[in-house]
């Protein structure tokens, strides 16, 4: 089996705190993987290591075949990363934000224009292309953040709580985008605190105190007759 994300005993410590503890994870290309766990569980730390931004203390991981320790530059071409507080330029327009992020990669002008056009259509932002970002609603800003993170056509998109504080209709629309990307073979790695979003993932992993408690499909977790919320609570009480 060809896994696009594969970690082996991936570990990050801060002094005495083990933020991520011997994480072993395998994710297939085109899957939507949901990473669930309470505040401080180690979700963002894991993402930062998988993006090649943060060095692990122990263990390793391969992203799209590239080692996170010595091929982090290659990884940056393969991934898009929507951080928990993504940096949009408030005084620039939607189009200008996309152009700025595209300019960080080595892309031709034609590719950039084509990608931006497709993203504006996909995210239903075409008629807001010339709007100044600070005038946009929170939901539209989140959508634009996703657009900026995928303007270079990455194969994997990491999204750290992209739907936090977003209204239900905007969230539903964002999930339509994630499903569309997944159908195109793009892998989505997403963190969320919403259980109904976890239901929409192909696979989910529960992390608590830096330890991956279990990873499986939502259907398998619910085989015992429990809701995902009950499964979550049972892992957190162990």
Ligand X SMILES: Nc1ncnc2c1ncn2[C@@H]1O[C@H](COP(=O)(O)OP(=O)(O)OP(=O)(O)O)[C@@H](O)[C@H]1O
* Chain positions contacting ligand X, by CB under 6 A: 14, 17, 19, 37, 39-45, 84
| 142 sits near Mg ion (criterion: CB under 5 A) | no
CB of 38 to ligand X, least distance (A): 7
CB of 191 to Mg ion, least distance (A): 6
Pick the closer one to ligand X by CB: 55 or 84: 84
CB of 153 to ligand X, least distance (A): 27
Among Mg ion, ligand X, none, residue 37 binds (CB under 5-8 Å by kind): ligand X
| 115 sits near Mg ion (criterion: CB under 5 A) | no
Distance separating alpha carbons of residues 105 and 83, to the nearest angstrom: 18
Give Cα separations from 156 to 3, 8, 21, 229 (angstroms).
12, 19, 23, 27
Distance separating alpha carbons of residues 32 and 223, to the nearest angstrom: 20
Q: Of these, 11, 21, 44, 46, which contacts Mg ion (CB under 5 A)?
A: 44
Q: Which contacts qualify for 63-71: CB closer than 8 Å, 24 or more apart?
A: 63/4, 63/5, 63/156, 64/4, 64/155, 64/156
| 83 sits near Mg ion (criterion: CB under 5 A) | no
* Site of tokens 């998109």: 157
CB of 39 to ligand X, least distance (A): 3
Among ligand X, Mg ion, none, residue 104 binds (CB under 5-8 Å by kind): none
SS3 217: coil
Pick the closer one to Mg ion by CB: 65 or 165: 165
The stretch near Mg ion (CB under 5 A) out of 35-43, 68-76, 104-112, 115-123 is: 35-43
| 192 sits near Mg ion (criterion: CB under 5 A) | no
SS3 81: strand
- In this structure, the number of other CB atoms found within 10 A of the CB of residue 91 comes to 9
Distance separating alpha carbons of residues 75 and 66, to the nearest angstrom: 6
Q: Give, as ranges, the residues between 205 and 234 that touch Mg ion (CB under 5 A).
A: none
Beta strand 17-28 with 156-160: parallel, antiparallel or unpaired? Answer: unpaired
* Site of tokens 């505040």: 39
CB of 47 to ligand X, least distance (A): 8
Among ligand X, Mg ion, none, residue 138 binds (CB under 5-8 Å by kind): none
What backbone torsions phi and psi does residue 66 show, to the nearest 5 degrees? -105, 135
Give the footprint of Mg ion on this chain (CB under 5 A). Answer: 43-44
């Amino acid at each position: 089996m060809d896994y696009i994300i594969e970690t082996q005993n991936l570990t990050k410590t801060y002094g005495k705190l083990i933020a991520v503890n011997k994480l072993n994870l395998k994710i297939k290309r085109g899957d939507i993987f949901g990473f669930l766990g309470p505040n401080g569980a180690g979700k963002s730390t894991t993402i930062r290591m998988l993006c090649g931004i943060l060095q692990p203390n122990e263990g390793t991981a391969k992203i799209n075949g590239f080692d996170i320790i010595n091929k982090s530059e290659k990884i940056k071409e393969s991934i898009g990363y929507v951080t928990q507080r993504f940096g949009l330029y408030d005084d620039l327009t939607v189009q200008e934000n996309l152009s700025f992020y595209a300019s960080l990669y080595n892309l031709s002008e034609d590719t950039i224009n084509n990608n931006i056009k497709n993203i504006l259509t996909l995210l239903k932002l075409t008629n807001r292309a010339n709007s100044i970002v600070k005038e946009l609603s929170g939901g539209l800003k989140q959508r634009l953040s996703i657009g900026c993170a995928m303007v270079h056509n990455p194969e994997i998109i990491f999204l750290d709580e992209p739907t936090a504080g977003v209204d239900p209709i905007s969230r539903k629309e964002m999930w339509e985008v994630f499903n569309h990307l997944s159908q195109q073979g793009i892998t989505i790695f997403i963190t969320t605190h919403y259980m109904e979003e976890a239901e929409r993932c192909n696979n989910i992993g529960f992390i608590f105190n830096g330890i991956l408690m279990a990873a499986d499909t939502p259907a398998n977790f619910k085989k015992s007759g429990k809701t995902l919320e009950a499964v979550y609570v049972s892992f957190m009480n162990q």
